[in-house]
Amino acid sequence: MKKLSILTCSIFFLVMLSACGQSVTTNQVSSQTAQKAYSAAAELLTSVKTTQAFSEEQIPSEDVEAILKAGINAPSAMNTQPWHFSVVTDKDVLEKISGDMSGGMPGGAPPKGAVPPKDASKPQGTPPQGEADKVPSNPPPGTGMPKSGVKKAGIADAPLVIIISCKEGSQFDAGLACQNMAAEAQLLEYGSKILTSPTIALNSSKQAEYKKLLGTPDDHTFVAALLVGKASSSDDKVDSVSSASVRNSFSDMVTYVKP
Ligand SMILES: Cc1cc2nc3c(=O)[nH]c(=O)nc-3n(C[C@H](O)[C@H](O)[C@H](O)COP(=O)(O)O)c2cc1C
């Protein structure tokens, strides 16, 4: 009887010991996983640069949906969700937009007496990016911009383009949705590039035509295009990391207001 109770106690002790051991191991693993996830997210925020050359590989629909879900779940003022996303994989449509940008100016002369849309003169929320995404011949020294002759990705150069429109005054919200989608794309190991220059064509005198083509709500204007795709390894002229723009310093960009 005594032997049996010693055996029972020992088994109980061993089971407890192994459970403790397991929980330590599980805790260690989950903390390592959390650390790994943090490093990946931190790298995404500070190191991942704009992709300038995409491969033609198509993106599976589940990844496209995950990217759109990230946009749809972005925060917006009073949760108005004032955006619309047109998912374009049709090269002809992208070539048409690219053609209508024709050197940074809306394609074709505006009809006589036409009042250009308010936003047509330049891409919204950004300084002009030069002629339809060409690289300047003399990039400012130290900016890390790619040298002349290196092609930068334009709207027709990626397998997936999400064209973002929003209601007037909601550009900030749309920007958050755009960045959410870019971040999701990067987490899924795609490259991404944000472009506002296509709004030159999209908000031109052809805006109504583009709204119809892209299923854009009437009360929206176009704000940006998000290019997504696998970064091309075949184009050795483009290195989106070494040619990435440098960032300004903390002291230039940040003011601390302390008590
Ligand atoms: C709002 C916005 C608009 C942009 N528009 C254009 C554009 O029209 N053409 C272009 O070539 N790049 C455009 N870009 C890409 C920027 O030039 C690029 O993100 C920036 O220079 C940083 O480059 P890096 O990520 O390689 O450091 C845009 C980026 C943002 C965030």
Ligand 1 atom closest to Cα of residue 241: 26
Residue 85, H or E segment: strand 83-88
Distance CA 117, CA 135 (A): 27
Closest Cα to residue 84, out of 178, 172, 206?
Answer: 178
Burial classification of residue 188, based on how many CB atoms lie within 10 Å of its CB (0-12 exposed, 13-18 middle, 19 or more buried): middle
Of 18-32, 86-100, 134-148, the range with the highest mean pLDDT is 86-100
Pocket of ligand 1 (CB under 6 A): 49-50, 123, 125-126, 129, 133, 152, 194-197, 240, 244-245
3-state SS class at 88: strand
User: Is residue 208 over pLDDT 80?
Assistant: yes
Distance CA 257, CA 22 (A): 48
When pLDDT is cut at 50, 70 and 90, the band that residue 28 belongs to is: confident
Ligand 1 atom closest to Cα of residue 123: 8
Q: How far is the CA of 193 from the centre of ligand 1 (A)?
A: 7
Distance CA 48, CA 209 (A): 35
The CATH code for residues 61-232 is 3.40.109.10
